[in-house]
Structure 1
Amino acid sequence: MPPDPFYWPRHGWVRLGEGWADGLRSPLTAAELAEVADWCAVGRPLVIARGRPGDGAGELRLGLATPDKRRIGLHVAADAVAVRLEPLRLAEAVDAAPEAWRPMLVELVRRAQDVGVTPAVYGSLAWQHRTGLGYVRPDSDVDLLFVPRDRWQLDGLLDLLTAVGDGSPRLDGEILLPDGAAVAWRELAGRPARLLVKGPAEVSLRDLPSVLALFDRENAA
């Protein structure tokens, strides 16, 4: 059984507690173990990643990304976590962005909130805000996470992103579906017959009407 997608949402963050290595469910190399230990010792967080089929209940997949684009994946027991953090709100990360990006990001937050959606951010800008290290480059995209609750919010959000998404910075990211899975906003905006959907522990193809129907049910609830 994969972790609860709402309690342990992908793109959320954790800080591991003392003795976290005792909770490892898959081994790390000695070099990886030392790097993760140093990372955690200074209080830096890890990001919650998608689980894998066969992961047990109470197990998490976590990621450590370095500014030079190295990646370390961890498979740990959830009780190794000392602090759990929600996905980072974009409004909180604006000051970590290059100065030239900030007016656009502030306006995006405002316009998204006008349709009832509060944007979150993951990827390089989120890592830069969370750690104080230099992840963002002039050509970096901004990876965003949106959680619309109904079709009105979804349609307004997709109209907004289609209008501004190819500006500077370029906007990428995902729409979180009411069932806890996610789909790339660019793919959903294109209204293809079938969509690549990322679940808590798997990736699958779904037809467009079934995805949109999730928001119709949310609206009717």
Structure 2
Amino acid sequence: MAQTCPRHALAWISPPAWAALRQEAPDAVARECLDWWAAQRLPLVVTRQAPGDARLALGLAAPERWGRRKLAVRCALDDVVAQGDFPAAAAAGPLLAPALQPAWRRLCGDLQALGCTARVHGSHGWQLLSGLPHLREGSDLDLLLPVASGAQADAVTGLLQGWAWDGPRLDGELLLPGGAGVAWREWQALCEGRVAAVLAKRLEGVALESRAMALGGGRPEAAELADRTSALQEGLE
């Protein structure tokens, strides 16, 4: 499943799967949102999977129209008929104030020059997908930053850390080659020696990991590590 439907992938599901999800909706507001999502043939996003559950955990962030609720659903892996990615970061330019757009284009270009094809998720990404208002005052700009090595991760975080930017707070994750997602600000703290481990989010769970572990050079071995991170898991994607 991890290779077939990675975390943060967009998943389009079959009409019968939508029908089942609408029947399982917890209330009328959620059902109305799911009805509209299905009618528009919009995707869901792959989230962290529950251990031992063969179904695929998916979700969506509803727009303002439905209270910006985060809806979590499950379906069979076979119900996924197509996969894709969140929009390229450059596509978020029109959602920004005109005065910010040149700097945003430069940032996207500089990330691309480092070999990182950034994508935008969170409120900006969902608004681009749905066409409905998701943003609110103070919404972060959430980036997905795929990197192929530790050196590339260092370069990307260094660029973001030093970027002169007057727009929304730049948040988001490095998507590391070992399958872990790490907040780029945490990675920068690791680079600067302010922390010895980062919270690595994977399809099957989260854990504090060293740089080598996060890059795929091994997994946490001590059971106590799971105990220390279990309190952090609730609410994480």
TM over 0.5: yes
CA RMSD of aligned residues (A): 2.3
The answer to whether the 8 A contact 2:93-2:105 is kept is: yes
Q: 1:141 corresponds to which residue? A: 140
Q: Could you tell me how far 1:76 is from its partner in structure 2?
A: 0.8
Matching of residues 36-75 of structure 1 within 5 Å: 36-56=34-54, 59-68=55-64, 69-75=68-74
Partner amino acid, structure 1, of 2:207: S
The answer to whether the aligner puts 1:206 opposite 2:209 as a matched pair is yes
The answer to whether the 8 A contact 1:10-1:49 is kept is: yes
The answer to whether the aligner puts 1:13 opposite 2:16 as a matched pair is no
The gaps in structure 1 that reach 5 residues or longer are 215-221
Q: 1:108 to 1:42 in 2, by over 3 A?
A: same
The answer to whether the 8 A contact 2:60-2:70 is kept is: yes
Higher relative contact order (CA 8 A, sep 6+): 1
Q: 1:74 to 1:92 in 2, by over 3 A?
A: same
Matching of residues 24-103 of structure 1 within 5 Å: 27-31=24-28, 32-56=30-54, 59-68=55-64, 69-103=68-102
Q: What TM-score, normalized by structure 2, do the two folds share?
A: 0.78
Q: Could you tell me how far 1:168 is from its partner in structure 2?
A: 1.5
Q: Could you tell me how far 1:23 is from its partner in structure 2?
A: 6.1
The answer to whether the 8 A contact 1:175-1:185 is kept is: yes
Distance 1:136 1:99 in 2: 16
The gaps in structure 2 that reach 5 residues or longer are 218-237
Q: 1:66 to 1:138 in 2, by over 3 A?
A: same
Distance 2:27 2:161 in 1: 45
Q: Could you tell me how far 1:145 is from its partner in structure 2?
A: 0.9
Q: 1:29 to 1:210 in 2, by over 3 A?
A: closer
Q: 1:139 to 1:34 in 2, by over 3 A?
A: closer
Partner amino acid, structure 2, of 1:89: A
Distance 2:134 2:19 in 1: 30
Q: What is the SS of the residue equivalent to 2:4? A: coil
Q: 1:175 corresponds to which residue? A: 174
Q: 1:138 to 1:90 in 2, by over 3 A?
A: same
| Identity level (%) | 34
Q: What TM-score, normalized by structure 1, do the two folds share?
A: 0.83
